[in-house]
Every structure is written in structure tokens, then in C-alpha cells.
Structure 1
Amino acid sequence: MSKIVVVTGAAGFIGRWVVRELLERGYTVRGLDDLSNSSHRNIAEFEDSERFDLVEGDVCNPKTVTSRFDDDVDACIHLAAEIDVQESLEDPQSHFESNVVGTQNILEACRQAEARLGLVGTCMVYDMVDSDAGIDEEHPVKPASPYAGSKLAAEDLAEGYYHGYDLPVTILRPFNTYGPYQKTSMAGGVVSIFTNRDLQGKPLKIFGDGTQTRDLLYATDCARFIVDGTFSDDAIGEVLNAGTGTDISINELAEVIATEDTEITHVEHHHPQSEVQKLLCDPSKAEEMLGWEPQVSLEEGIDQLRDWLREQNES
């Protein structure tokens, strides 16, 4: 009998890649997703699998959460979250409910089931970095939005369960992840938005001056990191970052993605106070502890995303 893993946010962008990685490794996956920021389309290819099922429900509902857990559950990967910085500034309460209260419900379910937890956080909790050294796990935190604050609060709760109850928790902070199945609206990531607009012949809009940088991680590399980190005994009680160790400015990214006739424009930033100017990961801890390193280059990743988006637009 294969090990059972509960995945929250299973029908989301990163969630569907985590589900795929788990199924390929032989796990049985119990998904939970309220489908508010995701879709059945993302997981359509798994729905015939005997080792995957999805319940539609909200992590803020304790009964819904506990319905996915029993003594057979080995682990939970918690991805369900509100993730929009701008929305968190306009409606901080919803981010608190989903990201803090929801995580509390997951932690309690894991404690009752004696299941290990991979808690997926965000690089947006970190303070600015102005050197080329990269952000490691010891870097100071400074959440600049209610979104980042709620994600950091969730991590603190998880650490409380680790120290207070000896719950096996690993905190996983992937940097900016992109790839197929990511939204191309404002709720999506910059790579997906730019690539889709280029395919449609629309201008690539850069918020602010475009000098802000991102460390861009391809979806399959992110999913491997999350699964490896969740099941590593060495990583219990640890915080782990994942990125490529290389950053690129938004201006440069636009140049890489834009084909010859595509215009690149700059527009006023809608939340400059919450913009992290430089995001560059130091992934050396994950490399040493998990033997993990990214396999997909930015050029390869953009090509794969472009091919996928082209198929979607044609179908």
C-alpha cells in the first residue's frame, strides 16, 4: 500500500505539479481545494488515477480539513493560501483567515493524525537584499504586505507545533515559480503574464522602472523541492529556500520574452510600498540537505511555457 499524502491547494498552479510529482513517486494523494483560485482543468490528467481524489472544500473549515485525515495519512503538503499582494492590501482579513486560521486547522489535523507537514511559505517574507550574495535562510524577515505577514505568522504557528508538540514540520520557501498552468491574469506570475501577452501581440507592461529582480524557479523544480523537503528527516524543524541562485531584472526578462514586434512599456506601480526590489535566492542549504538543485534553465522554462500557452490559446 502506498503512502498517503494530503495536499491542500491541490488544484492550484504549484499544487497540481506537486500532485503530479507525488503520483509519479507512487504516493496516494488526497487533495483539498476550494477552487477559488484554481480549477479542475489543472488536475484533469490525474482524475482517472486510483491514487488521487479531490474534495472541494476550504481549509478554514475544521470539519472539512479533518475529513481528509485519518491514521493512515503519512504527510500533508500545505499549499492552500490567499496569495495576491494587492488583494491583501485591500482585504487583509481574507488573507488572515486563509493563511493563518487555515494553517492552524491543518496543524491540528496533522497533530491528531501524527502526520508530518511540509508547509509551503514564500520568499516575500524576506527583508530587502542589496548585495549579490543572495538570500539564505538566516536573512532577516520583513513582511511588506498583509499577505507576507500572514504567511510568516503561519510559519511561526508551525514552529510552535514543532517545538511544543514535536510535530515533524519543514518550512519550504520557494522563490518566484513559473510554468504551465499558472494564471496569466494579474494573479499570475510575471513570466506567464509576459509570455501570454507576447503570444497575443499585446505590449508587455512593466510596473515601476523594471530594475526589480526575481529569481525564477520552474514549476517541476519547485515540486521536486517541496516533495523532497517534506519527506527529508534531516529537514524537520528547518526552513529551506529554493531558487536558481540567479536573478534577472524585469526589464531584462521582458527583453528575453518579447518577440520582435512586441512593445515593452512601463506603467505606474500599484503597490510600490510592497515591492521587493531584489529577490535572489541562496539555495545552498537545500542543495546540501536534500541534494536538490534546479534542472530547468530560464530559457528552457520559457520555451516550455510558451508551447503550453500556445496550445491552450489554440484549443
Structure 2
Amino acid sequence: MKTTDAQAGAPAVLRRRPVLVTGGAGFIGSNLADRFASEGHDVLIYDVLARPGVDRNLEWLKKRHPSKISAVIGDIRDETAVADAASEAQAVFHMAAQVAVTTSLVDPREDFEINIRGTLNLLDALRQRNERVPLIFASTNKVYGDLADVELEKTNDAYKPRDPAIRDAGIGETRPLDFHTPYGCSKGAADQYVLDYARSFGAPTCVMRMSCIYGQRQMGTEDQGWVAHFLIRALEGEPITIYGDGCQVRDVLDISDAVDAYAAAWKQIDSVQGRAFNLGGGPKNAISLRQLITHIEDVIGRPVETIYSDWRAGDQRYYVSDTRLVTRKLGLKQPTSWLKGVAALASWLQAERGLASLGSTPLPQAAEALS
């Protein structure tokens, strides 16, 4: 286990009851770490730094919170290192994962080791402490499978369910689990382990089955983080490849709203222990890939080239979270409008990557116009 020198005497944070964020240099993890450090918590990041660009997130966190952030560069599969990192944590946010369906199809064994064994390493390290240490787990909408039984119709460049109940509210937590692809199996199994540790051992755990989260500090790729990926390609003047017909629909949620939900789950863990919630933007923030590209064209002020390819394994033509339960249980506010959030992310990516403004309106102004 290697501890970085986030500040002089960095290992001391291990003795100060930190908030542990596994995968804390990643997109969601770094935003969580920033929130908790800003609130005065010591934060310990546990991350292997395998994903390109996440080292920049860690450096950003260190500069913003030099006395609050420490980091252990370690693999979630390392049982001893995980136990050491969790040994004094007051709460754990488990974001570390293999995150791409495509990667899981190439190497399903590694996907298993990271997502299932890694999660079990963490759960059991906390169980053996004999303390009530909350663990909030980042799960996925992929636990519901491809939703092929949901009858759809295509209108205005987007799929819509024929069932008015699903069309108006989205997919609820009572939906049967149906794991597809190795990624769906590994994340789904981890999801169930987290919930069962609450049932079998009384562990204060909670699961967030996330739809598409987007926002600042997202290093989007073709395999994961599609909103940021589309924006990056568009800003750099590169074509966007769409797998399928582009009418597939997801509900998108700004990272600030996702962090609010995770923080609220920690604060209210006694009332949500052992519960799983669908977390996304809900029906008001449901968009197709084509609709996002049209909005990106409006934001950057020029057309975006698109290339179409075959559907990918396990891809859902429609997934929108029914967010009524999570909103009610955690007292969440209405989420950020996707129009405003996407424009703001475009401005951040433009500045982060040092890109010249595209189109007739500078992107920061475009974002402000939507506020």
C-alpha cells in the first residue's frame, strides 16, 4: 500500500476517522471527496489511478484541500490494503469499479475480481471492525437487464414506452433484477452483497442504482461517460460514433445532484439501511442520444458529424429512473435541468482542455443563457 504525500505527515489522516472514498480520483469519487473536504471532513482516497486522466482529479483535490485530502494508491483487489484503508473510516463511499460493459466482455474474469471480490473485500473489512460504519455503494441501472420486454414506440428521435405508467414515472425499484453481460452480473452481484450485508450482519449499507451521471471532472470515453465523451468529441471537431440508431433514451443527472443524494444517504443511513434506490434525472431529464447531439450543436454553434454502427451487447433502448422513492426518502430537491447542465459541462471542458471557443457565442455565455 502506498500513501501519497498529499501534505506533510499525510498518513496522519488515517488516524482521524476519515471519510473513505474508493475510486476517489474518478469522476463521481472526486466530486464526493471535494464535497466532504469542503464540509471539513478528512477524506482518504483509495484509487489505483488506472483510468486515463484521473490523476489530474487527484492533483486538483490536493490543491483545493491540502490539509484534508490524503490518498492511498492501491487496488481494490488487494485485501490487506483495503482493510488498512478502511480501518479508521467513519463512512465509506464505494465507487471503485470496472465500469465498462465492453471491457467486461473482453476480460470477464478481471471484471469479476474488481467488482465482486473488491466489494467483498471492503464489506468484510468493515464487518470485522464490529462498528456501525455506513457504506454507500455505486450500483447501476444495468442490474435490470436490457428491458426488452418494455414495449416501445419511436417518436421525435426517441423511444417512448407504450405503458403510460412507465412513460410518466420511469423504471422503479420493484422491477425484477435481470443481469446481462459480465458487467451487469458483477455489478449486480456486488449490489446484492451490499444489501445482504445489511440483512445478514446488520451493516448500515445503501445502494444507488445510477443512470447516467454527468458533469465537471468527467473524463468521458466511448465506453463510459457518454455525455462528456460526446462533448469532448464535438469540441475537438471529431466525429461521434453512435451505436444503434441514436434514439435510445437515458435520464441524465448532474453530478452536483448525485453528490447531494449520496451525502443525504449517509446522513440518513439509519432510515435507508438495506435499501436500493434508482438514482437519475427522472422523466424530466430523459433524452435520446440524438437529442443530446442537437443540443450540443446549439451550444457550440456548429454541426456535429455522426457515424452510426451496430448496437452493442446489453444496450438498453430505454432506461429512465423512477426517482420518486429516492426523492421522498432523502428529501432531494428537483434536479438540474439537462439543458443547463450540459451547457455548463461544455464550458468546463472547454476551459479544462484549453480549447478555443467554437461558434459565434463563447460557451460560458451560452451556459449562462440557460440559467
Partner of 1:265: 306
Per the alignment, residue 31 of structure 1 pairs with 45
> Is 1:210 paired with 2:246?
yes
Tell me the distance in 1 between the aligned counterparts of 2:271 and 2:208.
13
2:281 paired residue number: 244
Instruction: Give the match for residue 117 of structure 1.
Output: 135
TM-score, normalised by the number of residues in structure 2: 0.80
Alpha-carbon deviation of 1:3? 5.5
- Paired amino acid for 1:87: T
1:1-315 maps to which residues of 2 (within 5 A)?
A: 4-37=18-51, 39-47=54-62, 48-70=65-87, 72-113=88-129, 114=131, 115-127=133-145, 128=147, 129=150, 130=161, 131-132=166-167, 133-232=169-268, 233-246=270-283, 247-258=286-297, 259-269=300-310, 271=312, 273-314=313-354
SS of the residue corresponding to residue 86 of structure 2 reads coil
**Identity of paired residues, percent?**
30
- Using the TM superposition, give the Cα deviation of residue 24 of structure 1 relative to its aligned residue in structure 2, in angstroms: 2.2
Q: In structure 2, the residue corresponding to 1:83 is in which secondary structure?
A: coil
CA distance in 1, matches of 2:296, 2:275: 36
CA distance in 2, matches of 1:293, 1:276: 27
Q: Distance in 2 between the 1:32 and 1:141 partners?
A: 30
2:281–2:335 CA contact under 8 A, matched in 1: no
Rg larger in structure: 2
The alignment of Structure 1 onto Structure 2 pairs a total of residues equal to: 313
Q: Which runs of 5+ in 2 are unaligned?
A: 1-14, 151-160, 356-371
Distance 2:220 2:199 in 1: 40
Q: Which amino acid aligns with 1:49?
A: P
Instruction: Give the match's secondary structure for 1:206.
Output: strand
Measure the CA separation in 2 of the matches of 1:303 and 1:186: 20
Conserved? CA contact 2:214–2:253, under 8 Å: yes
Whole-Å Cα distance in 2 between the matches of residues 76 and 260 of structure 1?
42
Runs of 4+ more than 3 Å apart: none
Pair 32,89 (structure 1): closer, same or farther in 2 beyond 3 Å: same
Q: TM-score, normalised by structure 1?
A: 0.93
In structure 2, do the counterparts of structure 1 residues 151 and 216 end up closer, same or farther at CA, with 3 Å as the change threshold? same
Between stretches 109-118 and 179-188, larger displacement belongs to 179-188
Cα displacement string for residues 249-299 of structure 1 (whole angstroms, at most 9, x for unaligned residues):
11111111124532342421352x310111111111111111013432111
In 1, Cα distance between equivalents of 2:18 and 2:334: 26
> How far is the alpha carbon of 1:87 from its aligned partner?
0.9
CA contact (8 A) 1:2 1:27 kept: no
Q: Greater shift after overlay, 60-69 or 200-209?
A: 200-209
Conserved? CA contact 2:20–2:89, under 8 Å: yes
Distance 2:194 2:224 in 1: 27
Give the partner amino acid of 1:224.
D
Q: Distance in 2 between matches of 1:312 and 1:5?
A: 27
